[in-house]
Structure 1
Amino acid sequence: MNIHTFPHLRMAALGLVLGLVSFSALAQGVYRIVGPDGRVSYSDQPPPAANARPVASGATGAAGGANAQLPFELRQVVSRYPVVLYTSAECAPCNSGRNLLNARGIPYSEKTISTFEDAEALKRLSGQASLPIVTIGSQQIKGYSDSEWTQFLDAAGYPKQSALPTAYRRAAPTPLVAVAPATPEAPATTAQSQPSEAPAPPVAPPATNPAGIRF
């Protein structure tokens, strides 16, 4: 099939190349950062703390190892137009999209939306909270459509039939938001240590307080 013969495929390829909608932050995962003051923020970059790593770092490494097993041509397509699927439990259209990708042997990573933080991050990054969403490179496709997904997968250069090796194992789904707690700030040190005050003696509850609650 010549892509130049079909204008809709040519436009799909152009959309993939230009990356009309930037969605790389979702593909990399989102960090939920809790600051020392308790404020919560979201970012696609981990905090500077050395021990702050995404919860799904092991799964990411597994996906990279799985891609190394792919045939050269397929590996080249995956590197240019990685596929990420965003799903939730009990989502029939999500299952349909997953079945399509599996039937064609498309290597993809799956991000699950199962918590309030996941839903909020998805809404901030995509503008909506409906699922499924699939990204092919920088192109974002909202909702499941067999013809539309097939059109963009074809334009990206993915094979129509599975070319996955028999030993290929897909990485397990991971949550969209990876919690990365911030490192608490070290207390300021003084030249001379101040003597600690003796703790106040406990106050006995009055006789009229049957629960024995201390104030």
Structure 2
Amino acid sequence: MQATLHFMQCLMTRWLVFLVLAGSFMPAQAELYRYVDDSGQVHYSDREPDDAEFESLEIKLPASAPADMSKKKPAAKSVLIYTSSTCAYCKQAKAWMKSNKVPFTERNITTSRSARRAFDKLGARAVPVILVGKQRMNGFNPRRLQDLLDAP
């Protein structure tokens, strides 16, 4: 008898915990009443009016507050890296961008004439040259590159 009572108490406790948790994840719902009084004034109330015809309005509230849009990540910037086939820093920069899932376009100045012309137009003297949006970085510094990627 004692074991059955203990089992029932445990079962009821678990059921109550389940209901409380399930209820906390459901969207809140409120009922609102709209009515017009004798003078034609429109009223809204959370209680049914006693002496007037009313319309029941159902309001569904979200389960949680809307996300803070100010923390939204900025759109990904285009990243272009000028490299050469023998540049160790270029390889480090590309490896860093791959490991950090930064999409980039590579232009190798030793294998592409158009890449070399564009590189020369920049007035650059050495590779890598990394363009993040309109910002330019000569050489490779992981912190500086991350700052350029995070900047608005």
TM-score of the superposed pair, with normalisation by structure 2: 0.46
Higher RCO by CA contacts (8 Å cutoff, separation 6 or greater):
1
User: Which structure has more strand as a fraction of its residues?
Assistant: 2
Q: TM-score, normalised by structure 1?
A: 0.34
